[in-house]
Chains A and B, each alone.
Chain A
Amino acid sequence: MHNLKQKMKQNKTLDFIFSGKILFLLPAFTLISIFVIYPLMLAVGYSFTDYYLLKPNDISFVGFDNYMEIAYDKYAKKAFFNSAKYVIYIVPLQVILSLFLATLIAKKSKTNTLFRTAFFSPYILSIIVVSLLWKNILDPNSGIVNEFLASLGFAKQEFFSDPNLALPTISFIILWQGISFQMLILMAALQDIPSSLYEAASMEGANAWQKFKHITLPSIKGQVVFVLIVVTTGTFKIIIEPLVLTNGGPQGSTSSILLYMFEQGTRYRQIGYSSAITVIFAFILIFIAFVQRKLVKEEEG
């Protein structure tokens, strides 16, 4: 019996190979093995070595040295800390603001379509365009915002070179672009709530806040969790904005995990060290995915 089962399984595999069906799977399988799985394995492997890009034949095993070094590297710590800061600045505000705006314009009407288009407009710009646009708008000498501040009698601000202002400024720019899409997702969810629920609540004398708390929020909880996770992962992946706007400065105050990893790997060519950062970053991603699973399960149960 056991033998027969094994044989059938073997036939299934043989059939899959010789019928040519395997050719459907092979290209993607090859590409993903080479460019996703293999690099992940390389990252783990390299992270225990002193691999320097220009000396590929002189690699030695250094154990956990790279990981220890990260713990003592001021700028690495700053990059990790900054990424956490970005999350704190961006995630709650982005979720709350996109929910707030979605609530205001969820009802289908002509004026709301206009507002929707206006709110959605940053989404069509690429990150590099958004960065360069705001770099010019916030320019310390000739930017619109500083001209405007000056005309009101305020001092001009060095938005990107003041260490206290640079990270909040970049967070604002990311927020400015990110709200649009999240708002759209939440708006679609709001539109799916049957209006009879609100009518019934009105008849019982519920006020706007009560309706929001007891009808709106529970109905869109799933989408709020989705937005929360997407924004959190997205915020941990920040790299282009600080790279283009401040190059991580001043004094590393805007660098992110990915930007620091990128710099160590490309400019300083420390592949071993950079790979250790990759591995830690991968664990952060795994942790977020784990939390997501828990939240989704909780919501379903």
Chain B
Amino acid sequence: MKGFTVIRLLKYIVLIAFAILFLFPTVWMFVSSTKTVAEISEEIGSIQSFIPNFSNIQNWLVPYQEMFSRFNFSIHFFNSVFYTFVIVFGSLLVNSLAGYALAVFDVPFKKFITGALIILIIFPFQSVFIQIFIIINQWNLTNTVWGLALPHIGSAFYIYLFMVFFQKIPKELRESAYIDGASNWKIFTKIVIPISKPIFMTIGILVFVGAWNDYVWPLMVFTEESKYPLSVAVNIMNETKPAYLNQVMAGLTVTTIPILLVYIMGQKYITPQNSSSGIK
């Protein structure tokens, strides 16, 4: 057991090196968003640039105020919240209904439909966004929330995940309600949804993060700057001269915080098992 401690030491050196590599950009982002431009450029490259200036704590939010007033950031923030809400709500509703139908009802051509769904999972949104844009353009839906959201709602992958989950719900639960005269809609909303919280949360979080972070599609759909979501606005902010680094970092931080909150709140629903189960 002679080499034991040396290997242990080596292991921790490697782990700490990787921890620094993975953490330093995010730490720098948070810290820089609270400093003045002069402070940032003075400290750059030194360890100081990763430590907040506690003697100046009352001015930490100044870059945020400057950024919000200079770029109309609250409009973009509200846009992002609104678009994301529409996509998450639409996606949960539409895909859960379809997944439920395929799991429970005697759907004609069921085998063919589920087979087709699995094939469609191969083609992600990005592979056909040029053609989707043509459709949206012909329907005059550019610069509208519908143009942005509608193509993002129906998803073969999420239908499949819902279907797999609903198949595991015991038949007896539904059948007793059916005998009592409840309609399919009532059984779905009153019995199935309440016991299916995990799958709704998992898919809800996945859709939320995807919609909030979406960049290329909003760039195509929106030509009016006032309609841009945060992701597009933050890039414009970085490119607008003069670019003040503290304001840019404040913008990136504001873009990140909602995602951080969603992950913290939904921690127990985002597990590797959840995310990989649909593929196998």
A30 nearest CB neighbor, chain B only: B154
Q: Of B58-66, B101-109, B169-177, B194-202, which stretch is located at the interface?
A: B101-109
Interface residues on B, range: 35 or more
Q: Establish whether residues B272 and A28, one from each chain, have CB atoms under 8 Å apart when the complex forms.
A: no
Measured between alpha carbons, how far is A144 from B127 in the docked complex, in Å? 36
Q: Establish whether residues B11 and A128, one from each chain, have CB atoms under 8 Å apart when the complex forms.
A: no
Interface core residue of A24, A27, A151, A286 (most chain B CB under 10 Å): A24
Q: Does B53 contact A (CB under 8 A)?
A: no
Q: Establish whether residues B215 and A125, one from each chain, have CB atoms under 8 Å apart when the complex forms.
A: no
- Which of A27, A119, A184 touches B98 (beta carbons < 8 Å)? A27
Q: Establish whether residues B184 and A31, one from each chain, have CB atoms under 8 Å apart when the complex forms.
A: no
- Which of B22, B44, B220 touches A142 (beta carbons < 8 Å)? B44
- Which of B28, B122, B131, B155 touches A144 (beta carbons < 8 Å)? B28
Closest chain B CB from A110 CB (angstroms): 13
For A121, list chain B residues within 8 Å (CB): 22-23, 26
Interface core residue of B107, B234, B272 (most chain A CB under 10 Å): B272
Using known A-B contacts A119-B19, A223-B276, determine if residue A35 contacts B127 with beta carbons closer than 8 Å: no
For B22, list chain A residues within 8 Å (CB): 118-119, 121-122, 176, 179-180
- Which of A42, A137, A262 touches B134 (beta carbons < 8 Å)? A42
Interface of A is mostly: helix
Convert A128-163 into 0s and 1s, putting 1 for each residue whose CB lies closer than 8 angstroms to a CB of B: 111011111100001110011011000000000000
Q: Establish whether residues A32 and B127, one from each chain, have CB atoms under 8 Å apart when the complex forms.
A: no
Measured between alpha carbons, how far is A295 from B25 in the docked complex, in Å? 37
Measured between alpha carbons, how far is A184 from B259 in the docked complex, in Å? 18
Q: Establish whether residues B45 and A185, one from each chain, have CB atoms under 8 Å apart when the complex forms.
A: no
Closest chain A CB from B28 CB (angstroms): 7
Measured between alpha carbons, how far is A165 from B261 in the docked complex, in Å? 36
Q: Establish whether residues A25 and B107, one from each chain, have CB atoms under 8 Å apart when the complex forms.
A: yes
Q: Does B260 contact A (CB under 8 A)?
A: yes
Q: Does B164 contact A (CB under 8 A)?
A: no
Q: Establish whether residues B130 and A115, one from each chain, have CB atoms under 8 Å apart when the complex forms.
A: no
Convert B201-216 into 0s and 1s, putting 1 for each residue whose CB lies closer than 8 angstroms to a CB of A: 0000000010011011
Q: Establish whether residues A25 and B122, one from each chain, have CB atoms under 8 Å apart when the complex forms.
A: no
Q: Establish whether residues B130 and A135, one from each chain, have CB atoms under 8 Å apart when the complex forms.
A: no
For B120, list chain A residues within 8 Å (CB): 32, 36-37
Q: Establish whether residues B135 and A38, one from each chain, have CB atoms under 8 Å apart when the complex forms.
A: yes
Closest chain B CB from A6 CB (angstroms): 12
Q: Does A95 contact B (CB under 8 A)?
A: no
Measured between alpha carbons, how far is A296 from B279 in the docked complex, in Å? 10
Measured between alpha carbons, how far is A166 from B216 in the docked complex, in Å? 21
Closest chain B CB from A284 CB (angstroms): 9
Q: Establish whether residues A262 and B108, one from each chain, have CB atoms under 8 Å apart when the complex forms.
A: no
- 16 interchain pairs, CB-CB under 8 A: A20-B185, A24-B100, A37-B120, A118-B19, A129-B252, A129-B255, A130-B25, A142-B41, A144-B49, A148-B45, A176-B21, A176-B22, A188-B273, A266-B220, A275-B131, A278-B130
Chain A to chain B: the 5 pairs with minimum beta-carbon distance, closest first: A31-B154, A147-B45, A126-B213, A28-B98, A265-B130
